[in-house]
């Protein structure tokens, strides 16, 4: 996957290069001044990285992309629109995120805008999401149209993208390694799924809190979280999970570092703690909240609560 480097002042040549490595397009130069475009592009299987500059304001129509795509202005601004959505502006602090479907237009790519373009194969992104969730993906992934790259996970993802783009420009870059290169690209896809808002984020966050446990353990975890007050036994949870009691206990120990009943108790404690904090002594009592959260022995509840939170349930309720 050699890096493709090109400079040109010819509209047709620039259009052809973008069409070959990204998407078919119609390109219009909006500036009357002389310009020179500079493209540095690496295609690595399911991902294409481009460091792109035009040197003049341009407008580009792409139609539907058929892939997921992120445009990061490293300088300048990019005004864009996709489908029936409103016109938006990408900046060095906020990247543009495109879906596979929907006519796409870069309304004004400013002449001083240096763009890091990341094209991700649709099936590759959905396949990575299914791997992270350990289950098939249903409805199409809908990434939010903007990604905050000024801080947090978005900034981390941008650093990774820039690192891979720079490495791709090196003849001996690690991205060219047949195994490590694939892993690096997969990290870029999974990182985007963890950094960007989308319609599977809740499922991903819930799955991550289960430490990527197998489906049987996740079923039991979800049942506990949905109805913590229910008088579950290990056999009940094993039946819900579709495995034997022994297998469920082994799974909890391996992936969550605890037993099913200890996990149930922790969920109940957290629920009781939240309700005690949110209520007042004139509204309810410790006993009522304890029973509501599945604790039937008030003395044991008070003891484990104090060990967990360092204060008594009544102190939390009064506080």
- The C-alpha atoms of residue 294 and residue 117 are separated, in whole angstroms, by 52
Residue 4 CA to chain centroid, in angstroms? 29
What does the pLDDT look like over 171-224, one tens digit per residue? 777 776 767 777 888 899 999 999 999 998 877 776 655 444 578 888 898 899
Kindly report, as residue ranges, where domains of CATH 1.10.10.60 are found in the chain.
215-318
- Can you read off the two tokens belonging to residue 103? 């006519």
Q: What CATH code would you report for 4-202?
A: 2.60.120.10
- Quick one: pLDDT at residue 2? 64
**Residue range(s) in the chain whose domain bears CATH number 2.60.120.10:** 4-202
Q: Give the separation between CA 263 and CA 234, rounded to whole angstroms.
A: 11
Tens of pLDDT, residues 252-285: 887 777 899 998 998 898 888 888 888 777 788 8
Each residue of 134-150: pLDDT tens digit?
777 778 899 999 999 99
In angstroms, the CA 294 to CA 229 distance is: 4
Residue-averaged pLDDT of the chain: 89
pTM over 0.75: no
CATH code of the region 215-318? 1.10.10.60
Asked if pLDDT for residue 60 goes beyond 70, the answer is: yes
């Amino acid at each position: 996957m050699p890096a493709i480097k090109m400079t040109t002042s010819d509209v047709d040549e620039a259009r052809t290069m973008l069409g070959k490595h990204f998407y078919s397009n119609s390109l219009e130069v909006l500036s009357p001044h002389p310009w020179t475009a500079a493209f540095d592009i690496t295609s690595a299987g399911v991902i294409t990285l481009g460091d792109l500059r035009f040197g003049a304001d341009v407008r580009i129509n792409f139609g539907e992309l058929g892939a997921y795509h992120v445009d990061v202005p490293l300088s300048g601004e990019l005004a864009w629109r996709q489908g029936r959505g409103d016109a938006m502006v990408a900046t060095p602090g906020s990247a543009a995120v495109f879906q596979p479907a929907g006519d796409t237009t870069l309304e004004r790519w400013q002449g001083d805008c240096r763009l890091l373009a990341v094209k991700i194969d649709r099936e590759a992104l959905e396949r990575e999401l299914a791997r992270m969730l350990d289950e098939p993906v249903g409805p199409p992934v809908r990434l939010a149209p903007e990604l905050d790259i000024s801080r947090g996970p978005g900034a981390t993802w941008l650093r990774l993208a820039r690192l891979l783009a720079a490495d791709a420009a090196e003849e001996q870059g690690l991205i060219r390694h047949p195994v490590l290169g694939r892993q690096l690209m997969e990290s870029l896809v999974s990182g985007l799924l963890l950094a960007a808002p989308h319609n599977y984020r809740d499922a991903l966050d819930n799955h991550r809190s289960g430490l990527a446990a197998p489906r049987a353990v996740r079923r039991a975890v979800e049942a506990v979280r949905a109805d913590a007050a229910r008088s579950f036994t290990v056999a009940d949870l094993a039946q819900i999970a579709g495995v034997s009691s022994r297998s469920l206990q082994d799974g909890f120990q391996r992936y969550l570092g605890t037993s099913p009943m200890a996990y149930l108790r922790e969920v109940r404690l957290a629920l009781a703690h939240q309700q005690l904090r949110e209520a007042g002594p004139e509204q309810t009592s410790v006993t009522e909240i304890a029973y509501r959260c599945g604790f039937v022995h008030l003395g044991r509840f008070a003891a484990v609560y104090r060990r967990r939170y360092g204060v008594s349930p009544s102190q939390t309720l009064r506080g």
